[in-house]
Amino acid sequence: MRQPPSLVSSSFSKPCSLSTVVSSGANTAVLSCCVSLASFVRLVVCLLAVAASMTVAAAYSPLSDESLRRIPAGDPDFDVHNGVLLAPILIPRVPGTPGSRRVQEHFVRFFQEQLPAWTIEWHNSTAKTPATGDRDVPFANLIMRRDPPWAAAGDVARLTLAAHYDTLYQPEGFVGAIDSAAPCAMLLHVARSIDAALTQKWDAMKAAGDAGSGLEEERGVQIMLLDGEEAWVRWSATDSLYGSRALAEAWEATPYEALSTFSNPLGSISLFVLLDLLGAPNPKVPSYFQTTHWAYERMAALEDRMRKLALLDTQPAHAFLPEAGKPASQFGRGFIEDDHVPFMNRGVDILHVIPSPFPPVWHTMADDGSNLDIPTIQDWAKIVTAFTAEWLELDGLLPKTKQKHSLRNNKTEL
């Protein structure tokens, strides 16, 4: 992602103002009408988006305290030396290199061996980069998906959890622990934590004769592990987001069968939750988009409840998600450019979970395992797992977890 000069700077085009129109002389009335119509259309689109978000929010029931207590912590799996989720990712992962392929194999093996009910989809593309000249660089996105077993692909609304797994081309040897090995490991943890509950829920629905009844929206979940997020030389519209740009374009052009609920895979994304730069202590993640602020509020409420129940290990000076009460007047047009942009530009709702300001180790050789804060990683994993379980209506279905020791104030050192 690109470090923004400030969040008030906008990546959107500047709207035409009436003061500009007045200078056009005889065409003022016509142009003013056009501006008014354009403003009206924008307002209608915004209201429709808010209405759609409110519809989803209305059907969103909080997890019970008991379910929150059952969210697993994954203590040993985030160990930077031998944790089965995180340690294999803590290597340089430049696209097209052996390190990248090793991490891809780690992801695939994890799902094949531990979560066989999930489907694995590869999306491959190639592109030239400013650093490699005429040589095509391969980019490989991995999409792991779990849908209700009776539902057709085009009829499932999917919560989409995403992170990029590639690392910078330069400096050589860059590991990218927060950027984004730790977020990838968190998503593996989420998938494993909800898997049994999904099976139990869908088995119960089939036994009760409720499977495919059409009385409720079919909900699934997919995890995107994206390649080629980083710029090779200097961030630009063409030197960045290689994997996500190719994937969003491909999905937009891939229609589902006629009479499907959704027209294409993009339309089936109910919410795109992007994790990035997570794993440093004391993060502060703003709410970036008013249209999905309700989802931010839900995640923030889960953090607050889990802290009050003493289920999180960190004791930060402020909440990880401190802007639940952000008024509408404080939302601007600025945002951080990241893998969500190609999807957002095609109408997908985005919840961007990235701290601002960026952690001090961002894009430095210090971004390695020694500077990860393991309690922070575990807390993020639990918060995102709780959010996912709540979205998928898994209350009362999560298995009991073993009592864990507290890691509070215990930072891993190498």
CB 155 within 8 A of CB 215: no
pTM for the model stands at: 0.86
pLDDT in tens, 176-194: 999 999 999 999 999 999 9
Residue 90 pLDDT: 99
Is the per-residue pLDDT at 225 higher than 70? Answer: yes
Is the per-residue pLDDT at 296 higher than 70? Answer: yes
Q: Distances in Å between the alpha carbon of 95 and those of 99, 154, 294, 380?
A: 8, 31, 36, 27
- Answer whether residue 7 is part of any domain: no
pLDDT in tens, 92-130: 999 999 999 999 999 999 999 999 999 999 999 999 999
- Answer whether residue 67 is part of any domain: yes
Residue 57 pLDDT: 54
- Answer whether residue 33 is part of any domain: no
- Answer whether residue 39 is part of any domain: no
Say what percent of the chain tops pLDDT 70. 83
Is the per-residue pLDDT at 91 higher than 70? Answer: yes
Q: What is the mean pLDDT of the chain?
A: 88
Residue 72 pLDDT: 95
Q: How confident is the model at residue 4 (pLDDT cuts 50, 70, 90)?
A: low
- Answer whether residue 223 is part of any domain: yes
Residue 375 belongs to what domain range?
61-391
Q: What is the CATH number of the domain that holds 381?
A: 3.40.630.10
- Answer whether residue 26 is part of any domain: no
Which residues are catalytically annotated? Answer: 229, 276
Handedness of CA 338, 343, 345, 350 (dihedral sign): negative
How many domains are there within the chain?
1
- Answer whether residue 1 is part of any domain: no
Q: Which of 382, 139, 377 is nearest to 278 (CA)?
A: 377
CB 254 within 8 A of CB 265: yes
Is the peptide bond preceding residue 255 cis, with omega within 30 degrees of 0? no
Handedness of CA 293, 296, 300, 302 (dihedral sign): positive
Higher pLDDT, 60 or 126: 126
pLDDT in tens, 16-53: 322 222 233 333 333 333 334 544 544 544 454 455 45
pLDDT in tens, 65-86: 999 999 999 889 999 999 999 9
Q: How confident is the model at residue 59 (pLDDT cuts 50, 70, 90)?
A: low
- Answer whether residue 23 is part of any domain: no
